[in-house]
Structure 1
């Protein structure tokens, strides 16, 4: 089945408003949760699962994006969007009631399922409603949503943590989601025509099992009894092998391996994957360092991330305007090169360092991601014909989301291993430190141990960023504006 929208020019501004509300709900989630997580972890405990709060959301979103995109073709955009918003809001409400870190992780996974439906289908609705020559202006409106959320998210997160329960970090989504759902329900009209389409549910399931078991293996790798980690690694290998077999035999696979064998797509997606790993390391662990080690407020920690999210769209705009002048590959490599430059200030952080140093590093990494991600998308789109452009674009988004998922897990493992090896028995003290109890006995030692572990994660971010630069060098030259025949 294929869904096409009936003419509804009068309703377009109202539908666009609903799309912007839904996008805002997803966009603000990143900065507001990152700002609040040190306090949440301090209250709930089980610090070793800190990174899982981010990874579970990203894993569910990555695994279901392609599936929900195809379901939108089968059953219509409105139905999938309403289901996605409902799932996201259910997860948000449950997150606010979480009584432990594993419960929060499970509820964040539900949130991720909803995000996997909302984000791609919202973009599809814009493509349905607006002609190509109109989309540039509309994309500007959508970009402004991410810019506004980058300012409001840290501010709201800091204020909520300081004055009310952290549960409102998640419950604030409810009125926004209900308003977006009302807009889609009232104004989005569709005619759905029959068209046969295959949905690779088995591929999505095997992918989820493979990545989840890999995350478990990494998390348990430092445990005294490594048998559970070995078992999880074995499950990962089996699921990954079955995933490859499934994707090669599926009629409409989740991941088109034929595309990934082409040099332009393989190298660009590889650089994108590592850039996603580097950035998630920053957004996940920088707020913890700023608050627990430097002793700054959640509001200050949040605004360190704001610098990155503001730099991203500025660089994306500058890069897009200069594709014809400098070429796609040069802009992509330049963006990749900015990532390790931005990571250096984090390696140099100390408890007495000015927060402006962290803000500068965030800004530079934001610029790097803006140049790299925009050039990567256009380079991939210009290297294939029209019939493959959707799958090629999805492959790049998939690579970035997968990188974020793996980055949070790998760097979280680095932190856990450091705390377990060098400061055995101090996890409870670190938890109390994150909870704001700076006067506890042994607080200085716990702060030093946490600072050491976080420095190792920042070194990991720097190494990963350098690998992204190395991979970007192998991206072939693709002349801007010369697409293959349609």
Structure 2
């Protein structure tokens, strides 16, 4: 493939990744205005939850579909669904409509995120991926930073509908670039016909939706039965996938030590970072007394450190074992999360930025290391499934962390209020005006919220520490060696395919 075509594809992929990752944050600053016009404050959180549910549950399916039908048509379908959802979101006139259209948008985004990294795995060699992986991680970090700022600017200067419609032109450009520049690898003429595992797809989607719904509100009466139902569906999924001729989620992948450790790390690291980061703005605004803008900016050190360290860490993978790089990252994550357990109203804001920066540094080192290691070792026929499953593990971990931490926060605040002789029915939403008004929290309520946030970060620290232990279980070796071994295995298998 020519260098010009490669540059075009890379540009299209970066633009697609920017749109899909930005959409999860750009809405946050526009939601107050949207609620004021559409009403339905009681459905506020579901605008985010619907997008998360849809995008997370579709990730493994898109990976498998891309293995079956090729990257290009599946990418086109994902982008089309994403853009249709974006158009519909801007046309919503009620909150239930917006929630439904956000789910459609999430179904598309759930394909864009994994397909970008899957195509990278197809397009570039190990050395090239090690150099470019940091760049693509940087796109994700920049989009996360720009998202809230861009959302606020659009609402102030235009109208909230353009938060969604702004995706249309860049999305069409990215689609045209990838469609005309990317060429899927040709399949052998005598390759066996591959079928779609419909039963596995249904169980995986239903189980993931049930799991995420139960984790969004662990205190609800329906949460435990839903969680049990999710576990039952995952049990049935394992039974079916072991017998399927072409499973949507190859259970055999989890017999590979590297892949199993990578998924375990993804769940625990996602729980620590994505879960903990969700409550940082609440801590900054409710306990430290910052403005909403300052609260949103509190996450910038984490995101910037993530971008910088991912660029450095991926280059180190060419000379240092991936286990060493990931271990160094997890050490930083543990060190950064430990002092957060003791934050209160007197915590120095500069130190808070340092702690969060260490956590971002840890993710920037460990996440790309495991991703490139898995992509370099798994056979090409399962590359899409393996990559998307790895991303799915981090999303599940983040959802699990948010659910657990939310329950811990609510229980701690309630206990503190009851001890102080105040009405324990005061909800977290009443501590801070969700529509961006002045902060009106008494010292008692502020102290109760501070204690709750500290408890949240205890959960984050435990998850980070367990993630460190899981990382130690990863096999040693250089990624180049794993890639070479895969090449030898595929070279030995090729003649057998030709003889058939």
Question: SS state of the match for residue 438, structure 1?
Answer: coil
Show the counterpart of 1:430.
Answer: 430
Pairing of 1:232-271 with structure 2 (within 5 A):
232-271=226-265
Question: SS state of the match for residue 415, structure 1?
Answer: helix
Offset, 1:380 = 3.7
Structure 1 contact 70–197 (Cα < 8 Å) conserved:
no
Task: From the superposition, tell whether residues 478 and 13 of structure 1 become closer, same or farther in structure 2 (CA, over 3 Å).
Answer: closer
- Asked if 1:281 corresponds to 2:280, the answer is no
Show the counterpart of 1:3.
Answer: none
- Asked if 1:203 corresponds to 2:200, the answer is yes
Task: From the superposition, tell whether residues 358 and 40 of structure 1 become closer, same or farther in structure 2 (CA, over 3 Å).
Answer: farther
Deviations 1:131-150 (CA, angstroms, capped at 9, x unpaired): 66655665565344234324
Pairing of 1:450-465 with structure 2 (within 5 A):
450-465=449-464
Give unmatched runs, 5+ long, in structure 1: 1-6
Partners of 2:74 and 2:371 lie apart in 1 by 25
Task: From the superposition, tell whether residues 480 and 470 of structure 1 become closer, same or farther in structure 2 (CA, over 3 Å).
Answer: same
Partners of 2:204 and 2:414 lie apart in 1 by 30
Partners of 1:340 and 1:107 lie apart in 2 by 38
Question: SS state of the match for residue 394, structure 2?
Answer: helix
Offset, 1:187 = 5.4
Offset, 1:311 = 1.5
Structure 1 contact 31–305 (Cα < 8 Å) conserved:
no
Task: From the superposition, tell whether residues 233 and 15 of structure 1 become closer, same or farther in structure 2 (CA, over 3 Å).
Answer: closer
Partners of 1:192 and 1:27 lie apart in 2 by 30
Partners of 1:439 and 1:333 lie apart in 2 by 41
Show the counterpart of 2:311.
Answer: 317
Pairing of 1:407-418 with structure 2 (within 5 A):
407-418=401-412
Partners of 1:91 and 1:203 lie apart in 2 by 26
Question: SS state of the match for residue 276, structure 2?
Answer: helix
Deviations 1:8-27 (CA, angstroms, capped at 9, x unpaired): 76555444332222111023
Partners of 1:134 and 1:476 lie apart in 2 by 23
Show the counterpart of 1:401.
Answer: 395
Query: How many equivalent residue pairs?
Result: 473
Pairing of 1:51-90 with structure 2 (within 5 A):
54=48, 56-90=50-84
Normalising by structure 2, we get a TM-score of 0.79
Question: SS state of the match for residue 251, structure 1?
Answer: coil
Show the counterpart of 1:303.
Answer: 297
Give unmatched runs, 5+ long, in structure 2: 418-422, 490-500
Deviations 1:85-118 (CA, angstroms, capped at 9, x unpaired): 2222333344554744x76554443222111222
Task: From the superposition, tell whether residues 125 and 334 of structure 1 become closer, same or farther in structure 2 (CA, over 3 Å).
Answer: closer
Offset, 1:397 = 2.8
Task: From the superposition, tell whether residues 384 and 138 of structure 1 become closer, same or farther in structure 2 (CA, over 3 Å).
Answer: closer
Partners of 1:456 and 1:23 lie apart in 2 by 34
- Asked if 1:373 corresponds to 2:367, the answer is yes
Offset, 1:35 = 5.9
Offset, 1:369 = 0.8
Task: From the superposition, tell whether residues 460 and 168 of structure 1 become closer, same or farther in structure 2 (CA, over 3 Å).
Answer: farther
Partners of 2:282 and 2:244 lie apart in 1 by 43
Structure 1 contact 311–363 (Cα < 8 Å) conserved:
yes
Task: From the superposition, tell whether residues 415 and 33 of structure 1 become closer, same or farther in structure 2 (CA, over 3 Å).
Answer: farther
Give the alignment's Cα RMSD to 1 decimal. 3.7
Offset, 1:364 = 0.7
Offset, 1:467 = 1.5
Normalising by structure 1, we get a TM-score of 0.81
Partners of 1:429 and 1:376 lie apart in 2 by 38
Partners of 1:39 and 1:279 lie apart in 2 by 28
Pairing of 1:97-246 with structure 2 (within 5 A):
97=92, 99-100=94-95, 105-126=99-120, 139=133, 142-160=136-154, 168-184=162-178, 196-219=193-216, 221-223=218-220, 226=221, 228-246=222-240
Partners of 1:380 and 1:89 lie apart in 2 by 31
Structure 2 contact 431–445 (Cα < 8 Å) conserved:
no
Structure 1 contact 158–297 (Cα < 8 Å) conserved:
no
